[in-house]
Amino acid sequence: MMKREDRAKQFAPFEALTGLRDALRQVELEEERVEKKEVSEYRAEQIGKTLYKIEKGKTVKVTYYDKGYYIDVQGTVSAIDRTFKFIVIGEGKIHFDDIYELKII
């Protein structure tokens, strides 16, 4: 008679082609990539005005472009550098030129 643990193992998930799932996910990610959208003058002006109002400690919501993807982040501003044009939310550094939407919450 088979031990209980051995019986359970025979029903465990089986991946016949090792790495296939990872390869398929990589293809999915490549297909989801998008081109960077052009920011209108109006939108750029609104982002600039908002950036002027932001200080360390404020909570913001940002949509920005990073390596083919648009990413939404909400968090507390831990640093803002107007000279080198970037904002830090948590540990993530976002360049002003990559910002598509920005709101103070």
DSSP string, 12-55: S---SSTTHHHHHHHHHHHHH--PPPPPPHHHHHHHHHHHHH--
Question: Is the model's pLDDT at 6 over the cut of 80?
Answer: no
Question: Is the model's pLDDT at 29 over the cut of 70?
Answer: yes
- Give 28's pLDDT tier (boundaries 50, 70, 90): confident
Average pLDDT over residues 17-24: 79
Report the number of distinct structural domains present in the chain.
1
Asked, for residue 100, whether it belongs to a domain, the answer is yes
pLDDT averaged over the chain? 88
Asked, for residue 8, whether it belongs to a domain, the answer is no
- CATH code for position 68: 2.30.30
Share of the chain above pLDDT 90, in %: 67
Asked, for residue 26, whether it belongs to a domain, the answer is no
Task: Identify which has the larger pLDDT, 29 or 87.
Answer: 87
Total Cβ atoms within 10 A of residue 65: 19
Asked, for residue 93, whether it belongs to a domain, the answer is yes
What is the Cα–Cα distance from 97 to 95, expressed in whole angstroms? 5
What is the Cα–Cα distance from 101 to 50, expressed in whole angstroms? 10
pLDDT score at 91: 86
Structural domain including 70 reads: 41-104
Asked, for residue 81, whether it belongs to a domain, the answer is yes
